[in-house]
Amino acid sequence: MKIYSLSKVLILPAVLLAFGIYFYAENMGSRDDTIWLFIPVFLLVVLYIFNPQIDYWWHRKYPLPLDPHIKNWLSRHSEFYRGLDKPSKKLYEERLGLYIEAREFKSVGSELREVPEDIKGILASIPVQLTLHDPDFLLGEYDRIYIYHHPFPSPKMPFLHTVEVDHEDGVILFSLEQFLPGILDPKAHFPVGLYGFMEAYFHLQQLLLPENITPEGIERFSYYSWSQIEKTTGRKNILPHIVLACLYVIEPEKVRRFYPKCHEYLDSIFLHLKHGSLIRP
């Protein structure tokens, strides 16, 4: 039998212990014995505060099966997932479930709302794909993923845009309106989702490409003009080296032809994206 929440399972014995101590103190002992209620109450407080960490630890040891709807979406829309060998596919599914559990997903509108599980899976598929070779598949302290249904302003970017990575607060923000086309057809629509998670990964790992990347250089082989990228993202401060890394994921051979040194460097980091297997533990 699969235990979906160890913290909730542990609540029952703590509650029974509390009732047992109270019953004993009232009927068979003295009221002074109620001091022992501190133990189960303390346990309940710990379980309440740390239930996400407890459940995450448990599911790392005993992974839950991936939601069938998410698995079906991956089978239909993720070429990377379909190309994985069996052990790597199992690892990918386990990490995807853990990423969803370990990160906070919120839909932003008039108030913060929960994000449907299938949307969480689509969002999480990108960072898990990028980090399949890496023990830190949670992308460090980037622990909050916020989505809007349309372009949005923010305190640090007070204009309408569709992707933002707040390195200080550990928040990655997307507009779902632009995110979904970019993941379903990245050659036709600039992938703001891939761009956001790639920027977070580069910042976390302190990566630096060995060649100077310019918008003009990218336009030589890119599927989109630089003005299209700026229009899709709603930003003028898009980072060319992050765009190049995104293009490497989409079609690495074009990057190899125009930026051979960058291609070699990115190969050393993301070789698993080509081989459909776990390259290094």
Using one digit for the tens of pLDDT, what is the confidence trace for 237-262? 999 999 999 999 998 999 999 999 99
* Together in a domain, 101 and 48: no
Asked if 239 and 133 sit in the same domain, the reply is: yes
**Confidence check: pLDDT of 281 > 80:** no
Domain identity same for 77 and 191: yes
Residue 279 has pLDDT above 60, yes or no: no
33 pLDDT tier (thresholds 50, 70, 90): low
**Domain-located, residue 120:** yes
- Single-letter residue type at 32: D
- Locate the DSSP E strands across the chain: 104-108, 112-114, 144-148, 163-166, 171-175
pLDDT attached to residue 61: 66
In whole angstroms, what is the distance from residue 267 CA to residue 210 CA? 13
Phi then psi dihedrals of residue 113, to 5 deg? -125, 160
Domains identified in the chain, total number: 2
Same domain, yes or no, for 14 and 151? no
Question: 59, 79, 102 — which closes off a domain?
Answer: 59
Do 157 and 227 lie in one domain? The reply is yes
Q: Are residues 35 and 106 in the same domain?
A: no
* Angle ∠(146,141,274) on CA atoms, nearest 5: 85
pLDDT digits (tens, 9 = 90+) for 104-136: 999 998 788 999 999 999 999 999 999 988 888
Structural domain that includes position 50: 6-59
Instruction: For residues 223 and 136, state if they share a domain.
Output: yes
Helix %, strand %, coil % of the chain (to 5) = 60, 10, 30
pTM value surpassing 0.85? no
Characterize the bridge pairing of strands 112-114 and 144-148: unpaired
pLDDT at 29 over 60: no
Q: Which of 41, 59, 77 is the last residue of a domain?
A: 59
Q: Report if residue 241 sits inside a domain.
A: yes
Where does a domain end: 14, 30, 59? 59
- What is the C-alpha separation between 265 and 271, in angstroms, rounded? 10
Per-residue confidence (pLDDT) for residue 277, from 0 to 100: 40
Placement of tokens 């399949």 in the chain: 132
Counted residue by residue, the chain has a size of: 281
Residue 31 has pLDDT above 90, yes or no: no
Cα gap 176→27, rounded to integer Å: 60
Per-residue confidence band for 1, with pLDDT thresholds at 50, 70 and 90: very low
Assess if residue 223 is contained within a domain: yes
Residues 82 and 212 in one domain: yes
- Residue 267: pLDDT over 80: yes
**Does residue 146 share a domain with residue 30?**
no
Residue 43 sits in the same domain as residue 71 = no
Residue 92 tokens read as 């990918």
Judge if 21 and 94 occupy the same domain. Answer: no
Amino acid code (one letter) for 233:
T
Question: Is 263 found in the same domain as 183?
Answer: yes
- For 207-247, the pLDDT digits (tens) are 999 999 999 999 999 999 999 999 999 999 999 999 999 99
Q: What is the mean pLDDT of residues 190-194?
A: 97
Q: What are the pLDDT digits (tens) for 63-107?
A: 777 888 999 999 999 989 998 888 889 999 999 999 998 899 999
pLDDT of residue 278: 39
Q: Map tokens 């460097």 to a residue.
A: 265
On whether residue 1 sits in a domain, the answer given is no
Mean pLDDT, the chain, whole residue set: 85
What radius of gyration, in Å, describes the C-alpha atoms of the chain? 23
Average pLDDT over residues 6-26: 63
